[in-house]
A = this chain, B = another copy of it.
């Protein structure tokens, strides 16, 4: 495969880190090449997903580790234009949710376990804690990421939709979710339009995120400045308006309005039956 030549490896790493931020050369294969080539795609052709592909994605998802084999994940697959339209609105009008042929909602599903508690008449003392809530969400994320890698290995593209959390109760009603289950995030799946295929997005150099034996952020400032420069070029190429990574962080984490109401999520989860002590 072309993706396996030394040149392809160098190109993949340069796309991810910029020419100045390359990590040490390591092993390479098409599994790794698939992951390095990831980009989030926000424009889809109408072509449907081939038969059997969803089931293969779910098999990959279920093959991820699950804490104590508790299997907290459920998935709602929707292809219904009416449902996708409502979901797109909840997500602040993200048109790719309507456009993509398959939209997956990844559910932290404690209902499965609560049902067992009732059926077997055993009280589950471990349920109402932040720990258990977190474990369920992490389980869901591990599963979803395997599904993403499977999809991308088949030439499909995806984008996670965190904005399902803008209104967890409305999403839950739309899918008739039982108590103690909620959609952690959505996922668009489909074939990218040529225009939307885009480019791999650069990341901070490994020096900024990989620590050996102890946390060491002595190079963090310089790594951030280097990443700012890479991201300025990237945004100039793609969105016309140049922006550093620092500026994006300030825009995203500074003002309350960028949360799109998600400061109310904890209360909404309470109404959906989650205690998070």
Q: Which residues of A contact B (CB under 8 A)?
A: 13, 16-17, 23-32, 34-38, 40, 50-56, 58-60, 62-71, 73-80, 83, 107, 109, 111-113, 115-117, 119-120, 122-127, 129-132, 134-135, 137-138, 141-142, 144-146, 148-150, 153-154, 159-160, 162, 165, 175-178, 181, 184-185, 200-201, 203-204, 206, 208-215, 217, 220-221, 224, 245-246, 248-250, 252-256, 258-259, 262-263, 265-266, 269, 276-277
Query: Given A125-B254, A256-B126, A265-B130, are A176 and B206 neighbors across the interface (CB < 8 Å)?
Result: no
Whether B125 pairs with A78 at a CB distance below 8 angstroms is no
Q: Once the chains are docked, how many angstroms separate the CA of A167 from the CA of B249?
A: 30
A38-B64, A138-B138, A250-B122 known; A59+B213 contact, CB < 8 A: no
Cβ contacts under 8 Å, A125 to chain B? 253-256
Q: Is the CB of B162 within 8 A of A217?
A: no
Whether the Cβ atoms of B35 and A176 lie closer than 8 Å is no
Cβ–Cβ < 8 Å partners of A250 in chain B: 116, 120, 122
Copies in the complex: 2
Contacts of A37 in B (CB 8 A): 63
Question: When the two chains form the complex, which single residue of B74, B83, B117, B201 contacts A215, counting CB atoms closer than 8 Å?
Answer: B74
